[in-house]
Structures are given as C-alpha cells and as structure tokens.
Amino acid sequence: MYKRQQPYCQAKSGDAKHVGGVLVTGQDANKPVERREPNADMTTEQFKEAYRNKLYSLYAKTLEAASDKEKYLTLASLVRDEISRTWLQAKKLRAQQQENQEKQVYYFSIEFLLGRMLDIHMINLGLKDTCERGLRELGIELAQLREEEEDPGLGNGGLGRLAACYLDSMAALELNGHGCGIRYRYGLFEQQIIGGAQYEFPDDWLKYGYYPWEYRAADEAVEVRFGGAVRLQANGRIVYIHENYEAVSAVPYDIPITGYHNNTVNTLRLWSAEAELAKQACAAGQTDCRNTLQYKQSLESISHVLYPDDTYHEGKVLRLKQQYFMVSAGLQNILRDFRKMNLPYANLPDKVAVHINDTHPALAVPEMMRLLVDEAGLSWEDAWDITVRTMSYTNHTILPEAMEKWPEDLFRTLLPRIYMIVHEINERFCRELWDKYPGNWEKIRHMAIIADGYIHMAYLAIAGSHSTNGVAVLHTDILKKEVLHDFWEIYPQRFNNKTNGVTHRRWLLAANPKLASLVTETIGEAWLEDPCRLQDLTQYADDAAFQKEIAEIKRRNKQVLARIIQQKNGIAVDSDSIFDVQVKRIHAYKRQSLNVFHIMDLYQRLLEDPDLPVWPRTFIIGGKAAMGYYIAKRTIKLINSLAEVINNDKRIRDKIKLVFLANYNVSLAETIIPAADVSEQIPTASREACGTANMKFMMNGAVTLGTLDGGNIEIREAAGHSNIVTFGLTAPEVLQYYRQGGYNPWDIYHSDPRVKRMLEKLVDGSLSSDREDFRAHYDSFLHHGDQYFVLKDFAAYVAAQEIINGKYQDQKVWRRMCIHNIAHAGWFSSDRTFAEYAAEIWRLNEAAISCQDGCEQPGFSPIAKRLGTMLQ
Ligand code: F58
C-alpha cells in the first residue's frame, strides 16, 4: 500500500540515470547533459568596485557611513542587476517558446512562503563565493547583511512553503512554470510572546519596500469586478451583462525566481489591488463618489492582509474577494498571452496548465467558464471541456473544518455572474449523478457542489478539473477510500498521488552550508542537481571519520542555535544536550500537547529521581496559532508556563530545558532545522496530509520521532525502519474509532496514574496562578472525548522517547541513523515531486512525445525531452 510508485532514487548505473532531478531512461540517459554555466565570471576586485559604486549611487555614502540595511540593499541591488540581465534573456526565450507554443504551467496559490531571497539568488547565479570574499575584503560579513532582509510571511505554513519550494524546482528543472498569487501588504502576523501568551502584530514586510526582488508591471494591470447585478440580453444568443459593479485594478508585481546554475528565470506574479479604476468609474458617473477615499480603501483592502480573521462576516467577505481577485487577474493574464498565439481556444489545454493549490483558487473553474463563454463567445460544452482539461487540483487536508465552503447568499451578492455559473455547473453535475445513481437523492445531495445553502469548493475543484491529487500515499488513500470516496467512484482516473517534496537547495545547501560542503567533498557535487545521488553517502554510514565530521557539524549548528536561544529567550541551553524540536503551526491535531505531556512526565520523574539515566535534553517548540483559535493560543501559554517552571527548577540540575521560540518563520527554520537531533512529527495518524518539515529535518540528519502518518510513512520506507522511531495508533485504527467510537479517555485517566497526575496539574494552579488558564485543554481531553487521541497515544509516546534516549547514548548508532536519513532524503526533493506533476498531471512530456524526432527544433527545452523519456 505504501510502495512508492517511481523507481526514482533506485536507478542502477548503466540502464538509467538521473538528470536534473528527473529519471531518464533509454538512449538519452547516456547523452551528456548540457548545463549552462552560471553568470559568475565577475572577479572579486570587480565585485568590490561595483559594490562601492552601487553604494555611492544609491545612498551617496561611503562604506564607513552606511548602515547595515543600506549595505544589504546595495548587495541585493547588485544581485538584482545580475538577475535582470539573465531575466531579459529568459524573457526572450519565453517569447520564443510562446511563438513555438510550448506549454506553460501556472501554479495558483493564495500563499507563497518564499523566505529570504538573497542567499538563494547568489547561489543560483553562482555569485555567492565572489560576493562573500569581496565583502570580507571590504570588512563586511555576509551573514550579518543577510539578517537585514525581511522575510515575507505570505503564508501560514506547509501549503505556502510547498508552493515556494515548487517555484524553486520549476526553475531548477527549466520548466516553463510561473506562480500566481497575491501581494499582501501585510503578511501573516508577527508573533510576540508577552507573559507567556501570543500577541499578534502586523507583519510590515514592505516597510523598506521589496525593491530588490520585485518589478511592478503596471502596464499589465487588469480589471476585476465585484458585486452589482447581471442582466440578460437576448440577441440571437443570450448575453450576460454585468453592471453596477465595483471595479478594482489588479496590478502585477513580478518576482524573479532563478534556477540553479542554468540561466533560467521564471516569474512569480503577485497581484495587488489598487483603486485606479475606481477613479475612472467615479469620473464616468458609474459609482457614488461622495466618499471616494473610503471606497478606495475598501477596494485596496483586498490585498491588505493574508487571511483576515474570518470569524466575522466582514472577514469572510474579504477572503472570498481575495480568492476571486487572484484567479480573475491570473486567468485574464493567461488568456491575454494565449490570444497572442492566434490559436483556437480548443488548443488551450495543450498550451496552458492551471494548477489549483488547495481550494482557495478553485474559483478558477467558474472564472475560466465566464471568460470563455461570456467574453470569448464559446458554447458551454466547449468551454467546459477546455476548462476541465486545463485545470488540476491538489488537496492538502482531510480535516472537515478545513474543507472550504461559502454561504450561498454571500457568494451570490459578491460574485453574481460567477454564482450563476457555479449554479449551472452544479445543475449539470447533479444531472450526471442522477444518470449514474437514479433516485439516490441522498448520495446526490451529499455530492452536490451547492447544498444546504453552501458552495463546496473541493467538489467544485474536482468536478472542474482533470486531476485531483493528495500529497502523500496514505493521504491519497484516505481521500479515495473515505473523504472523497464518492468522487473517486465516479472519476477514478482523476485521482492520483504526488508525495510532497522540499527543495534541497534551500533546506540543505543554503541552510546548512557546512553539511552541504561535507557532502560535496565526500560524494562530489552531482547531488545538487540530482538529489538521489545523496544515497552514495550510505557507504559512509559506519565510517568513523565521516561520522565524526557529521557530529561536529551538528554540534556547531547547535551552538549557533544555542546562542540565538540565549539572545531571544535569555535561556542558557547545553549544546551537548539532545535538541528535540517541534516547529510547525500550533494545532490540536499536530499535538504539541502530547509533547508537553511527555515533558511534564519526564520532569516529574526527574524530581522523583534526579539521577534518572536520561541524556540531557533541550525541547524546542515554535509555531504560530491562528488568531481566532483559542485552544491553540492556550497551548502556547501552556508551553511557556511549563518552561518557566522547568527552566527555573534547580532540583533537576539542568537535565531538561524547554524553549518556545517566538515568531517561527522560514528564516528561523533555516537556523533551527540544521541544529535538530530529534524531529518531532507526532500528529494523530490520518490527520496530517503529509508534512514537509519532516523532510527538511531528515535532509539535515535529524531522526524522526513520529506517528505513522502522512510523509512519515514514506520517510520510514526510504530511510529504513531502524533509522526512525515510530509509535502510536495507526491511521486505520484512528479512522475506525472515528467511525465506530469505542474510545473513552476516562479509561486512561483511571488506569494510568501519570495521565491523571498531569491532567490534574493543568487545573490545580501548578502551572499558572489562574486555574482556568488550561481548563479548555483539560475539558477537551476528558469532557470532549480527546478527539486527537492524546491520552491514548501517551504511553506509546513515552516509550518511543525512551528509545530515542537509548539510541542517542550510543553515538555510533545515532550517527549512523543520521547519515542514513541524509542519504535517503533525495527522494523528498521537490525536484522529484515536480517532475511527477509535470509528467503525469500537466503532461509537459506530451509536447516532447508528440514531437517525436522533431524534438530538436527550437522551443522544446531539454527538460521537455527528458520528461518525455521519463514515462517510456
Ligand atoms: C498543509 N496544509 C498540511 N494549510 O497540513 C500538511 O500536511 C502538508 O504537508 C502541507 O499542507 C503541504 O501539502 C497547510 O499548510 C494551511 O496552512 C491552511 C491554509 C488555509 C488557512 C488555514 C491553514
């Protein structure tokens, strides 16, 4: 059931090999791969001169007078110049590709969690060494300047970071792929911990502008319309006239995405809402101009902030507006480009793939229908066929509360024409269901896109696209067998799995340069473009000298993190202790509370026996809780309250420390992950679609302590069962409980004295003077059925922690485990995932396959050829 489908990472030399991260078989495998050298011919002297000149021209300052921020912006600006040069070439190539009508992929996502860009661009362009050396000679440390870059928080967590990893892989694989999203004025909030609790502050990431990494393209703005009414005009054929709407200008900002050493620059296009059109509408008398300022603010609020709190009606309206704003702008832009090819619309699916990343961009389906039917004049049937063949959709969650649905009334008022189209899609879909299940009203109501006053976005995405994929084998299996079973029954060929991946260039090469250098010294640099080559490290798993170097690098990374913890939290931690890390969104199903319970129990045992044979441990937890998510916010308070008690208790002689690192984001992750010994991946089995932090930790040599869920299962397959520690209920067991009941947390409360003691401590004032602080947790475990099985898995988790403790004490065994994890992380590179999407969902290979011998003609990129061979 959990077998990986691709032989990727298992090829034997001679019959197949990996090129640019893609498995190549057949004749092409033996051809030398053409790699273009990075534009790195600048000498250190030239760099220094260019740097001084840039600083002078930007700020009219000498080096001595410039601030760190100015020095960073000077460097970034030089790198931008290099990108611009390459981008110009890339744009010419793209124009040529368009002329040659090569297929383009557009990845629509409401989140792109990019992280800082300076380092990655320098690496990709082959400039890093020159810059670092040149700066050092000027008396400037690159590491210090890097800290000056804002980290754009345009995402919540895994979903947004995945989108950013895919952009990186698309460019590395030289695929014609582009991102489409929103340029939020404010990203996800900045988290501060005050009195142990989370406080949210605006994430003002544009405070100093984003000048080095974005290009405003005002001349390519498009109009997006909200509200108003739709009038029908019958004039031979029915025409829909949308009037009295609010018009918003969607202005694109282009962020270049560079490819690794290949002169490729792709584009992430983020749309910003501006009210320019409001002025015009006002001048033309189409709108009420009495309060234009307020009107302008209301329109511009669309791209004001990432996921406004949608607890209130206004929040919901804004969120729906954001979704439509993004897809409408994105699709208008795509069709504008497509029309330049002078092809019939029927060819659109051969030239364009639109990917819907989770349901947030699912309005792409009805918007594409509107553009094709209302604006291009196609018949419904033709438009539907084109839409379905163009769209594909990824599901990222099975949590019922996370499955998006919109109240019909709200939808109708805000998007009247789109509502009509969704209504029609639903009618036709239900008729199809009726033909298949005549008389089965219950089933049809259950599957209807519009039902009980709501519009179900996942159903819309499935019905309106040719592919629905899950993000890990288990997750896809659950989608097929449980959550979307009815849909799988009618469209089995549409369902497929694409296990997530992460870019090894950011998460290993850039984040852990010492480890990356060691890997390169040991096995050569082929792994950078072909991450599967990491498996060549397995032969060194027992090599004492290699083990020692691995351990030394980990120790140094831990020292760096220890310094940060001291600075940020004022807590001294021992870098020889086990760094046990859980960093991710705070959510009940991810079970930070299980981690807390183990720490409470260990603390108690140490109080009872300070000589307990446990290796010293530093527990590090980080993550943001959604603003309106009460119990998650209380979990942060719980962690900090416990930390306060433990870190100040001399009796346990510093054997354990607990640290909550505030404002977890991509940059912080890049420091934390290389320093981790233990990677905590402990969600309730079946609830975590895949997880991606697990892969980043693995790549950096941490050992996973996890449940058999999502990507953990595949990590166990890849790394080997003895190189990961698993525990707890399995997904089938959990699903069985959800279906049939039979779990009573009180049984555990009464049978396990440790559990009883801990639960009592939540409400007896031991952790907080306000006994009500953690009442919600107490109630959720005992009075609300412990729906994430924290108590149920507690004993198994403690036992698994004992195994970790035991294995760590034998350093030879532990280092071996670390090396096996690194060596088998190649399969979890997003290059592999993306190649699968390209070949199996977007069918980029078809261009190559269909060209047969003609592949040599200009316009077919080498990757298309490689993908073409992948499926043979
Ligand atoms: C995550 N989803 C899944 N959602 O939880 C994780 O298992 C998976 O690995 C990852 O997607 C990538 O496939 C996720 O990050 C969100 O951040 C939601 C976005 C919408 C608002 C609520 C959070």
- Measured CA to CA, the distance from residue 111 to residue 154 in angstroms comes to 6
pLDDT band for position 87 (cuts 50, 70, 90): confident
pLDDT of residue 96: 73
pLDDT digits (tens, 9 = 90+) for 244-274: 999 999 999 999 999 999 989 999 999 999 9
- Cβ neighbour number for residue 611 with a 10 Å cutoff: 8
> What is the arithmetic mean of pLDDT over 557-567?
98
The total number of structural domains that make up the chain: 3
Best residue among 107, 159, 309, 665 to mutate for probing ligand 1, ranked by most atoms within 8 Å of CB: 159
Contact 25, 839 (CB under 8 A): no
Does residue 54 surpass a pLDDT of 80? yes
Is 689 close to ligand 1, i.e. is its CB under 6 Å away? yes
Is 587 close to ligand 1, i.e. is its CB under 6 Å away? no
For residue 629, report the distance from its CA to the centre of ligand 1, in Å. Answer: 15
One domain for residues 215 and 358: yes
Q: Is 615 left (phi over 0), alpha (psi -120 to 50) or beta?
A: beta
For residue 545, report the distance from its CA to the centre of ligand 1, in Å. Answer: 40
One domain for residues 285 and 371: yes
Cβ partners under 8 Å of residue 53, min gap 6? none
Does residue 77 surpass a pLDDT of 90? yes
- Measured CA to CA, the distance from residue 718 to residue 705 in angstroms comes to 15
pLDDT digits (tens, 9 = 90+) for 466-512: 999 999 999 999 999 999 999 999 999 999 999 999 999 999 999 99
Give the number of the atom of ligand 1 that is nearest the alpha carbon of residue 307: 21
pLDDT digits (tens, 9 = 90+) for 772-827: 999 999 999 999 999 999 999 999 999 999 999 999 999 999 999 999 999 999 99
Give the number of the atom of ligand 1 that is nearest the alpha carbon of residue 500: 13
pLDDT band for position 869 (cuts 50, 70, 90): very low
One domain for residues 492 and 591: no
Domain annotation covers residue 531 = yes
Q: Whose CA is nearest to atom 20 of ligand 1?
A: 156
One domain for residues 550 and 532: no
- Measured CA to CA, the distance from residue 773 to residue 191 in angstroms comes to 20
pLDDT of residue 8: 58
- Measured CA to CA, the distance from residue 598 to residue 110 in angstroms comes to 36
Give the number of the atom of ligand 1 that is nearest the alpha carbon of residue 402: 22
Is 692 close to ligand 1, i.e. is its CB under 6 Å away? yes
Does residue 532 surpass a pLDDT of 80? yes
Best residue among 395, 396, 664 to mutate for probing ligand 1, ranked by most atoms within 8 Å of CB: 396
Which residue among 261, 585, 761, 792 is the active-site one?
585
- Measured CA to CA, the distance from residue 496 to residue 483 in angstroms comes to 14
Does residue 563 surpass a pLDDT of 60? yes
Is 163 close to ligand 1, i.e. is its CB under 6 Å away? no
Residue 705 is part of a domain; what is its CATH number? Answer: 3.40.50.2000
Rg (CA), the chain: 27
Domain annotation covers residue 195 = yes
Q: 715-718: which pairs have CB atoms within 8 A and are 24 or more residues apart?
A: 715/828, 717/2, 717/3, 717/4, 718/4, 718/9, 718/824, 718/825, 718/827, 718/828
pLDDT digits (tens, 9 = 90+) for 12-49: 333 333 333 333 333 233 333 344 444 557 899 999 99
One domain for residues 322 and 377: yes
Does residue 288 surpass a pLDDT of 80? no
Domain annotation covers residue 83 = no
Is 157 close to ligand 1, i.e. is its CB under 6 Å away? yes
pLDDT digits (tens, 9 = 90+) for 177-209: 999 999 999 999 999 999 999 999 999 999 999
- Measured CA to CA, the distance from residue 869 to residue 872 in angstroms comes to 5
pLDDT of residue 307: 84
Is 676 close to ligand 1, i.e. is its CB under 6 Å away? no
Structure tokens at 868: 């073409």
Give the number of the atom of ligand 1 that is nearest the alpha carbon of residue 360: 20
pLDDT digits (tens, 9 = 90+) for 440-476: 999 999 999 999 999 999 999 999 999 999 999 999 9
The residue among 497, 532, 550 that closes a domain is: 497
- Measured CA to CA, the distance from residue 472 to residue 481 in angstroms comes to 14
Pick the residue with more confidence: 316 or 258?
A: 258
Q: Is 807 a catalytic residue?
A: no
Is 158 close to ligand 1, i.e. is its CB under 6 Å away? yes
Is 405 close to ligand 1, i.e. is its CB under 6 Å away? no
Does residue 317 surpass a pLDDT of 50? yes
Best residue among 162, 316, 323, 397 to mutate for probing ligand 1, ranked by most atoms within 8 Å of CB: 397
Domain annotation covers residue 61 = no
Residue recorded with tokens 């995945």: 162
For residue 157, report the distance from its CA to the centre of ligand 1, in Å. Answer: 6
What are the backbone angles phi and psi of residue 10, rounded to the nearest 5°?
A: -125, 10
pLDDT of residue 402: 85
One domain for residues 477 and 605: no
Q: Is 71 a catalytic residue?
A: no
Is 308 close to ligand 1, i.e. is its CB under 6 Å away? no
Please tell me the least confidently modeled range out of 23-27, 168-172, 372-376, 423-427: 23-27
Pick the residue with more confidence: 311 or 614?
A: 614
For residue 599, report the distance from its CA to the centre of ligand 1, in Å. Answer: 27
For residue 159, report the distance from its CA to the centre of ligand 1, in Å. Answer: 4
Q: Whose CA is nearest to atom 23 of ligand 1?
A: 156
One domain for residues 489 and 533: no
Is 114 close to ligand 1, i.e. is its CB under 6 Å away? no
Which residue among 590, 655, 761, 820 is the active-site one?
590
One domain for residues 241 and 195: yes
One domain for residues 428 and 305: yes
For residue 222, report the distance from its CA to the centre of ligand 1, in Å. Answer: 30
Share of the chain above pLDDT 90, in %: 84
Domain extent at residue 452? 101-116+151-497
One domain for residues 248 and 158: yes
Is 844 close to ligand 1, i.e. is its CB under 6 Å away? no
Chain CA centroid to CA 345, Å: 32
Domain annotation covers residue 382 = yes
Q: Whose CA is nearest to atom 14 of ligand 1?
A: 159
One domain for residues 804 and 861: no
pLDDT band for position 847 (cuts 50, 70, 90): very low
Is 397 close to ligand 1, i.e. is its CB under 6 Å away? yes
Is 688 close to ligand 1, i.e. is its CB under 6 Å away? yes
For residue 158, report the distance from its CA to the centre of ligand 1, in Å. Answer: 5
Domain annotation covers residue 475 = yes
Please tell me the least confidently modeled range out of 47-56, 133-142, 156-165, 278-287: 278-287
For residue 330, report the distance from its CA to the centre of ligand 1, in Å. Answer: 22
Mean pLDDT score across all residues of the chain: 91
The residue among 497, 524, 559 that closes a domain is: 497
Q: Is 692 a catalytic residue?
A: yes
Is 471 close to ligand 1, i.e. is its CB under 6 Å away? yes
Which residue among 319, 360, 637, 696 is the active-site one?
696
Give the number of the atom of ligand 1 that is nearest the alpha carbon of residue 711: 9
pLDDT band for position 861 (cuts 50, 70, 90): very low
pLDDT of residue 287: 61
> What is the arithmetic mean of pLDDT over 118-142?
97
Domain annotation covers residue 707 = yes
Q: Is 585 a catalytic residue?
A: yes
Is 398 close to ligand 1, i.e. is its CB under 6 Å away? no
For residue 626, report the distance from its CA to the centre of ligand 1, in Å. Answer: 12
For residue 71, report the distance from its CA to the centre of ligand 1, in Å. Answer: 36
Structure tokens at 26: 């057949």
pLDDT digits (tens, 9 = 90+) for 619-666: 999 999 999 999 999 999 999 999 999 999 999 999 999 999 999 999
> What is the arithmetic mean of pLDDT over 285-289?
64
Domain annotation covers residue 752 = no
Is 387 close to ligand 1, i.e. is its CB under 6 Å away? no
The residue among 477, 497, 517 that closes a domain is: 497
One domain for residues 259 and 240: yes
Q: Whose CA is nearest to atom 4 of ligand 1?
A: 159
Is 710 close to ligand 1, i.e. is its CB under 6 Å away? yes
pLDDT of residue 278: 63
Which residue among 258, 359, 692, 704 is the active-site one?
692
C-alpha closest to that of 828 among 397, 472, 398: 472
Is 161 close to ligand 1, i.e. is its CB under 6 Å away? no
Q: Is 370 a catalytic residue?
A: no
Is 500 close to ligand 1, i.e. is its CB under 6 Å away? yes
Which residue among 261, 370, 417, 584 is the active-site one?
584
Q: 484-493: which pairs have CB atoms within 8 A and are 24 or more residues apart?
A: 484/395, 484/458, 486/443, 486/446, 486/447, 487/447, 487/459, 487/462, 490/432, 490/433, 490/436, 491/462
For residue 618, report the distance from its CA to the centre of ligand 1, in Å. Answer: 27
For residue 316, report the distance from its CA to the centre of ligand 1, in Å. Answer: 19
Cβ partners under 8 Å of residue 256, min gap 6? 83, 87, 213, 215, 265, 266, 267, 268
